[in-house]
């Protein structure tokens, strides 16, 4: 058997990072170094260089981000420092190490004004600061690292809950329904809900396939946030009304794409691993929690 790949994971106690830690730690294929913000500050170039070049990593996965979409509109310095410049510091160290640089990106790089889901071939055109900072991160990583993999995911839910957002949508719906609180959810914004555990499994498959470039890694299919919430309560066997509302009734600081559903034209050519439909992913999450 070949020796395990040395993988550094940045953002290790985030929502996605936690599932990458648990999945990769159980895999003989990898020797994982899990880095939290206490171990590395990606906005500090000297710190990034010192931590990442202290070992001969084969792969560096950057799952760290500033994900508070509405706050990004005011906190744009932080958004760009973490999501773009920070990503470049990591890519620079990867180039020095000749390591694969994996950048986790988002459906919010797209405008979202059309009915079809977005493929890897579609032109990004973000409509808020968060999306713009993440797209800039993609460009900087692609230009700086010798080898990079940009994995776009969307509307994620995972056991840890997004630390930057204080939880996840599934848990928020379950909590409100159990408390008997009224629930209103937008029914005219569409996306592809994605389970972080499935993203961890996909990353494993992509590393085994030596994949590079941009890949869309959402669970398959798409739905409105109202359909997402209804599916959660139905699978949890909770009978509770969810009032559908238009996005216009729920104004936010950042404009959201109306349809940012993702689909992949590349995955099937790279690996036999398939992302499951979003409904099955929610069922798996509810069973595992």
Which position among 4, 29, 31, 43 is part of the footprint of ligand NAP (CB under 6 A)? Answer: 43
Which position among 5, 8, 11, 235 is part of the footprint of ligand NAP (CB under 6 A)? Answer: 11
Which position among 32, 61, 67, 202 is part of the footprint of ligand NAP (CB under 6 A)? Answer: 67
**43 versus 208: smaller Cβ distance to ligand NAP:** 43
Q: Rule CB under 6 A: is residue 69 a binding residue for ligand NAP? A: no
Going by their DSSP bridges, the two strands 156-157 and 194-195 should be labelled as parallel
Q: Rule CB under 6 A: is residue 75 a binding residue for ligand NAP? A: no
Which position among 52, 64, 94, 173 is part of the footprint of ligand NAP (CB under 6 A)? Answer: 64
Phi/psi for 227 (5° steps) reads -65, -35
Q: Rule CB under 6 A: is residue 167 a binding residue for ligand NAP? A: no
What HEC string does the chain produce?
A: CCCCEEEEEECCCCHHHHHHHHHHHCCCCEEEEEECCCCCCCCCHHHHHHHHCCCCCCEEEECCCCCCHHHHCCCHHHHHHHHHHHHHHHHHHHHHHCCEEEEEEEHHHCCCCCCCCECCCCCCCCCCHHHHHHHHHHHHHHHHCCEEEEEEECCEECCCCECCCCECHHHHHHHHHHCCCCEEEECCCEECCEEHHHHHHHHHHHHHCCCCEEEECCCECCEEHHHHHHHHHHHCCCCCCEEEECHHHCCCCCCCCCECCECCCCHHHHCCCCCCEHHHHHHHHHHHC
What is the pattern of x (binds ligand NAP, CB under 6 A) and - over residues 79-118?
---x---x-----------------x-x------------
Question: Shortest gap between Cβ of 222 and ligand NAP (angstroms)?
Answer: 14
Which position among 5, 8, 14, 135 is part of the footprint of ligand NAP (CB under 6 A)? Answer: 14
What is the pattern of x (binds ligand NAP, CB under 6 A) and - over residues 146-165?
-------xxxx-----xxx-
Question: Shortest gap between Cβ of 237 and ligand NAP (angstroms)?
Answer: 25
Window 223-252: residues binding ligand NAP (CB under 6 A): none
**15 versus 172: smaller Cβ distance to ligand NAP:** 15
Active site residues: 130
Q: Which residue is nearest to ligand NAP (CB)?
A: 14
Q: Which residues bind ligand NAP (CB under 6 A)?
A: 11, 13-17, 37, 40-43, 63-67, 82, 86, 104, 106, 134, 153-156, 162-164
């Amino acid at each position: 058997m070949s020796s395990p790949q040395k993988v550094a994971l940045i953002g290790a106690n985030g929502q996605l990072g936690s599932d990458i830690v648990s999945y990769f730690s159980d895999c003989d294929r990898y020797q994982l170094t899990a880095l939290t913000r206490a171990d590395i500050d990606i906005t500090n170039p000297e710190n990034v260089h010192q931590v990442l070049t202290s070992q001969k990593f084969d792969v560096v996965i950057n799952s760290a981000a500033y994900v508070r979409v509405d706050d990004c509109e005011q906190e744009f310095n932080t958004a760009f420092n973490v999501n773009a410049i920070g990503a470049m510091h990591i890519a620079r160290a990867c180039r020095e190490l000749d390591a694969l640089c994996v950048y986790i990106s988002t459906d919010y790089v797209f405008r979202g004004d059309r009915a079809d889901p977005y493929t890897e071939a579609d032109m990004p055109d973000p409509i808020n600061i968060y999306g713009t900072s993440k797209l800039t991160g993609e460009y900087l990583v692609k230009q700086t690292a010798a080898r990079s993999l940009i994995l776009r995911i969307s509307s994620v839910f995972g056991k840890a809950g997004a630390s930057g957002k204080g939880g996840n949508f599934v848990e928020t719906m379950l909590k409100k329904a159990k408390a008997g609180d009224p629930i209103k959810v937008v029914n005219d914004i569409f996306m592809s809900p994605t389970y972080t555990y499935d993203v961890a499994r996909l990353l494993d498959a992509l590393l085994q396939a030596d994949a590079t470039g941009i890949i869309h890694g959402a669970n398959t299919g798409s739905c409105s946030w109202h359909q997402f919430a209804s599916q959660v309560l139905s699978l949890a066997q909770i009978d509770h009304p969810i009032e559908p509302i238009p996005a216009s009734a729920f104004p936010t600081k950042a404009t959201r794409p109306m349809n940012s559903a993702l689909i992949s034209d590349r995955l099937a050519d790279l690996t036999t691993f398939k992302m499951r439909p979003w409904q099955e992913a929610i069922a798996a999450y509810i069973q595992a929690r």
